[in-house]
Amino acid sequence: MKHLILAGSLGLVLSGPSTVHAGKAALFHDSIALAPGDLEVRVAGAAVRGDGSWVTLGARLDETLHEALYLVARDRDGARLAARALPSNAGHAQVPQSLVALGDGDVLAASLEYDDSAGPRRLFVTRLDADLLPVWSVRLNLPQASFESVRLKTPASPGSAVRVLGEVQRSVDGVFGTGDGLLATIDPADGSVLSAYTLGTADQERVVDWQTGDDGHDVLLLETARRTGPVSVESGDGLVSISKGGTLRGARLIGHPGSAGIRARALALLPHPDGGWVITGRRTAFGPNFFYLQRVGADLAPAPARVLVPFFNAIDSAVHDGSVWLYGEANGEAQHTGTVLMRLDADLALRGQRRYLTDNGSFPSGAIAVAGGRALLALGASRSGEKVFVFETVHTVDLATAGAGLVCGEDHYAGFTPTTDTPVELAGWAPELRPLPDLVANPMPALAEPLAVAAVGLCLAAEDALFRDGFEPPPR
């Protein structure tokens, strides 16, 4: 394969994605501007469907600072199948939260809506078919409450209940209190609520992930926060085991440093190939962000060392073939640009880093989806120069070759060196599981409008894949 770098004077535009077949893995790149005048594109989720096609979920922030949902579907080789806006019926701002694929080619998208930044956030779940047209939409309604975050988890078997995780805050005399973890299930056929609970203490909790142990019990990962001073918050990773019968079997809380400007936020609970789990999370501070990785056993006991990876901005994590993959922003403190994919082995030892010269905005958002030895890396991007614009960029990489893809200038990277610290278990954390009988699903009309997207050029290293810095002509 010849490697080509395009000069701006060549002026060639391709309207579709660039695709190169490397053995069994079809690699592609596709970048699109969603609407003229947008100020930011935020990617919130990516999913792969049963036929190998990919879907991304995000939001566009327009020139009036209004945030609105969008989805894009691409086939397994990157050709665009559909691009749609999902506007709010009430004209409210929308915050994308989570995207999952169902077994029949449909997807579920979760979002929050609000009409006042200080007011309550309302939770919506929408099912969309293979063409990204709404099948049903519901508002999960809880009186005098605000939903602060949501994550969907698909069932182990098709047609089973979909899990809805997150944080809900109750209002008392018009004031929202500290949040409790949300733990609910809905029927994928119509969105109706099948079960609902809160899990928490007098402090703040958020349910982040839900896995099933070898004997069928549930294991939950929670983010916890407790204020210890005017500007200090003690963060923790809570682990809860629940029996098949729905009773609490045990709980552990793993602490993080409690000092000004530091917050730890759990991202996922990933299965470990030797049993037990790996907690991945993001630790923010005054300066670079960190991924942290904490191995825990089947009994939820933490390993004696926690791995810290100093990404400039931590974006997403995934597990594949016994390795943990981390996706984030390159080392901005060293004036490095682009994004980085990192692989850690089962012992959480660093085994490789690869950098891609993507166009990053400030603290870019993004997501990973993994299927068949490929990873889709999705990113909310921006470009300045003769034209200033924002766009969504996605490209697939081959995990068997350390994340090799199609982007010009991508190469092995040595910008980050992991370190460790010592986790400390915090005593006295005793969350309670409480039924939530007043959570109901109200059917809502759903809108889906086509987006006339424009392709954005990116320098690619691929045979006959030439792009320029600009847009393709608008469709006629």
Which has more confidence, 245 or 141? 141
Answer yes or no: is pLDDT of 40 > 80: yes
Kindly report the number of other CB atoms within 10 A of residue 384's CB atom: 9
Torsional sign, CA 148, 42, 154, 106: positive
Answer yes or no: is pLDDT of 336 > 90: no
Across the chain, what does the average pLDDT equal?
86
| Position 375 confidence tier, pLDDT thresholds 50, 70, 90 | very high
Query: What is the residue extent of each domain of the chain?
Result: 204-352+411-430
Sheet strands side by side (includes 233-242): 204-212, 218-227, 233-242, 248-255, 424-425
Answer yes or no: is pLDDT of 456 > 80: yes
Answer yes or no: is pLDDT of 189 > 90: yes
Q: What is the mean pLDDT of residues 303-332?
A: 91
Cα–Cα distance, 214 to 233 (Å, whole number):
35
DSSP for 5-19, please give it: ---GGG----SS-EE
Q: What is the pLDDT of residues 413-454, one digit of tens each?
A: 998 999 999 999 999 999 999 999 999 999 999 999 999 999
In 3D space, the residue among 451, 441, 342, 432 whose CA is nearest the CA of residue 392 turns out to be 451
Cα–Cα distance, 409 to 4 (Å, whole number):
10
Residue with tokens 């694929």: 101
**Per-position b or e across 16-55, b if 16+ CB within 10 A of its CB:** ebbbbebeebbbbbbbbbbbeebbbbbbbbbbbbeeebbb
Answer yes or no: is pLDDT of 407 > 90: no
Q: What is the pLDDT of residues 260-286, one digit of tens each?
A: 457 888 999 999 999 999 999 998 866
Question: For residue 259, what pLDDT is reported?
Answer: 57
Q: What is the pLDDT of residues 101-144, one digit of tens each?
A: 998 899 999 999 988 766 789 999 999 999 999 999 999 999 98
Q: What is the pLDDT of residues 53-64, one digit of tens each?
A: 999 999 999 888
User: Strand, helix or coil at 334?
Assistant: helix
| Region at 184 (left for phi over 0; alpha for psi -120 to 50; beta for the rest) | beta
In 3D space, the residue among 246, 266, 369, 354 whose CA is nearest the CA of residue 319 turns out to be 369
Question: For residue 158, what pLDDT is reported?
Answer: 72
Q: What is the mean pLDDT of residues 244-262?
A: 82
User: Strand, helix or coil at 274?
Assistant: coil
Chain centroid to Cα 234, Å, comes to 24
Least confident segment among 186-195, 201-210, 318-327, 462-471: 462-471
Answer yes or no: is pLDDT of 13 > 80: no
| Position 462 confidence tier, pLDDT thresholds 50, 70, 90 | very low
Which has more confidence, 117 or 338? 338
Answer yes or no: is pLDDT of 472 > 50: no
Sheet strands side by side (includes 122-128): 93-101, 107-114, 122-128, 134-141, 440-443
Least confident segment among 332-336, 359-363, 381-385: 359-363
Q: Considering the entire predicted model, what is its pTM?
A: 0.90
